Amino acid sequence: MHRIDVLEGTLAKAFGCLGGYIAGRAEVIDCVRSYAAGFIFTTALPPAICSAATAAIRHLKTSNWSASATRNAPPGSRRSSMPRACP
């Protein structure tokens, strides 16, 4: 972790919410807030969305359903909904 400058991700799809996160040194985050076009006019997430994201993260940390469902899925089932051009 000592070589990673910034961690960022989304709270959509896997977490069933919206928004995202960015974590790093204060100087880097301040730079992103000041110069990244997507952050200039944004506001904080509503409390209900933050609560939903927190609940989803807590659930995923304690539940092994997702991992076991993926592990036990029949071969090829994860690709069945992908277009043929996707690897």
What are the catalytic residues?
13
Q: Which tokens hold the place of 3?
A: 């070589």
Q: Residue 85 belongs to what H/E stretch?
A: none
The rounded distance, in Å, linking the Cα atoms of 25 and 2 is 11
The rounded distance, in Å, linking the Cα atoms of 85 and 32 is 35
